[in-house]
A and B are shown apart, each in its own frame.
Chain A
Amino acid sequence: MSNSSEVTTGEAIRISGLSHHFGEKQALKDIDWVLPQKGIVGLVGPNGAGKTTLFSLIAGFLTLQKGTISVLGESSPVASALMGRVGVMPQDAIFARDISIFDQLLFLLKLDGYQGEVAEQRVREVMQRVGLETELFRGAAVLSHGMGKRLGVAQAILANPEIVLLDEPTAGLDPANARQIRHLMRELAETSLVIVSSHNLLELQDLIDSVGVIVGGELISSGTVEEVTRRARRFEIHLDAKVEVELVVELKQLSHINEVEFSDQQLTVSLNADQEDGLNGALSQLYRFLIEKGLPPHEVREGASLEQAYLKLTGEDQSS
């Protein structure tokens, strides 16, 4: 059962000076990161950036080479006091094929300290939460990819852990199932810290409270979504008239405008919200300019700012 020893520091995980290498290859370089006790934290980065390595180190799959990871006040991620308090959904692990899903989850829950009827009830409850209650007594080998993902999430949250690590939890899921898992994550985040790695930045943007961006083994940016994307708020503006090049040239000269893209009746504008008057000042300036030009916005919506920030941070942005 999850053991709730007090963590007075208000942080669930503290990573200091973490480096890791596989042979010659440096997978992580000097990472420092502090994660809160509750909420959803996204971990993003290109393939091979070191996300899974960082996950594996926090989960205790890999042994620490350099640096420290303190989890829930314990100085090591494999401390016995942490057993059952951290739930992990690894990306590539598979369940045993010769034992039913029910028996496997029951066994895991027994390791977490549950017993008897309570444990059986809990397994049914969690399987229901991920929509797999009908598959309880089947073998894991017959599950589809999406069902396997949901089963992975189910085993991670079995014992109400205080920290949940989910590696690509919605990859390969249909929209309804992905939504169900996102809903589940939000529920978990009310009492626990959920760390989720994903390539679906649009999905993450609506889901997470804070984010860490890893590139080439380095944590190049971290903080709340607001903080990370502050320098690149991106808006799509639909006008009633066709956008002229002269308008774009003038627009680019405004102090709060970083970039402008346009097509037909649409402007996509990256605002610099880092000045003293913040995002409101930047938006006011934009609106004022458009109204002065006799082009009041027909529709304004915030674009994929996390994606934009990510592309900028990782150097993959080709638009500018």
Chain B
Amino acid sequence: MAASDRPGGLTALSVLNGFFALAVGGTTIQRFMTSYDLMEVAEGEVRGRGWRRRYLKSLLDEGLTPMDLQILALIGLVATLLLLVSIWGLLKRSNLIGRWLGTLGGVALAAFYILNIDWLPETYLRGSGLSIARQIFYPLFLIFMLHVIFRRDFLQAQGKSG
């Protein structure tokens, strides 16, 4: 017998989940670090280079708070973890871990980028707008694939294991 009858599309999705988990994970770390830098600047501590301090000060002036960044980072962390866990679920065609955690991961990923656009000031986002559009496309694509194209694969696999 062949090893698996998993459709190639599911394997591709699991690879893409890994790719986006790394991407959002990196951004999450960046958000955490920036939030601590912002806190230091807000508390008047003088650290780092001048241009960096001025940049952080301008973010504060535009209304960005360290809390905003920490909430975004938290959502990013959740998205990263969900996407990473769902890789295993997609490969195993687990309805709960693959389909539903993948869906939640997609929602968290979309929420992360939408809130980024909504909360972060223009100076922070400048130049990365279309890459964010690209990042928003993926969760929508993922949810469509999990609930329309591969829905029956997950349900059948669940039926067999159940």
A and B from one assembly?
A: yes
* Contact between A139 and B1, CB atoms less than 8 A apart: no
* Contact between A139 and B156, CB atoms less than 8 A apart: no
Partner of B7, one of A137, A139, A144: A139
Number of B positions contacting A (CB below 8 A):
11
Q: Which residues of A contact B4 (CB under 8 A)?
A: 139, 141-142
Within 8 A of B (CB), among A135-162: 137-144
Within 8 A of A (CB), among B1-38: 1-2, 4-9
Binds B, one of A97-105, A171-179, A201-209: A97-105
B147 lies within 8 A of chain A by Cβ: no
Chain B interface secondary structure, helix, strand, loop or mixed? Answer: loop
Chain A interface secondary structure, helix, strand, loop or mixed? Answer: loop
* Contact between A100 and B1, CB atoms less than 8 A apart: no
B134 lies within 8 A of chain A by Cβ: no
* Contact between A100 and B2, CB atoms less than 8 A apart: no
* Contact between B152 and A100, CB atoms less than 8 A apart: yes
Contact with B along A112-138 (1 / 0, CB 8 A): 000000000000000000000000011
Q: Which residues of B contact A97 (CB under 8 A)?
A: 5, 7-8
B1 vs chain A, min Cβ distance (A): 6
Q: Which residues of A contact B152 (CB under 8 A)?
A: 100, 137
A141 to B11 CA separation, bound complex (whole angstroms):
15
A99 to B9 CA separation, bound complex (whole angstroms):
10
Chain A residue at smallest Cβ distance from B5:
A139
* Contact between B1 and A144, CB atoms less than 8 A apart: yes
* Contact between A100 and B153, CB atoms less than 8 A apart: yes
Partner of A142, one of B1, B8, B9: B1
* Contact between A100 and B8, CB atoms less than 8 A apart: no
A4 to B7 CA separation, bound complex (whole angstroms):
38
* Contact between A137 and B156, CB atoms less than 8 A apart: yes
Q: Which residues of A contact B5 (CB under 8 A)?
A: 97, 138-142
Q: Which residues of B contact A144 (CB under 8 A)?
A: 1
Within 8 A of A (CB), among B29-63: none
A143 to B4 CA separation, bound complex (whole angstroms):
10
Chain B residue at smallest Cβ distance from A99:
B7
A172 to B6 CA separation, bound complex (whole angstroms):
25
A247 to B156 CA separation, bound complex (whole angstroms):
70
- Using a CB–CB cutoff of 8 Å, the interface residues on chain B facing chain A are 1-2, 4-9, 152-153, 156
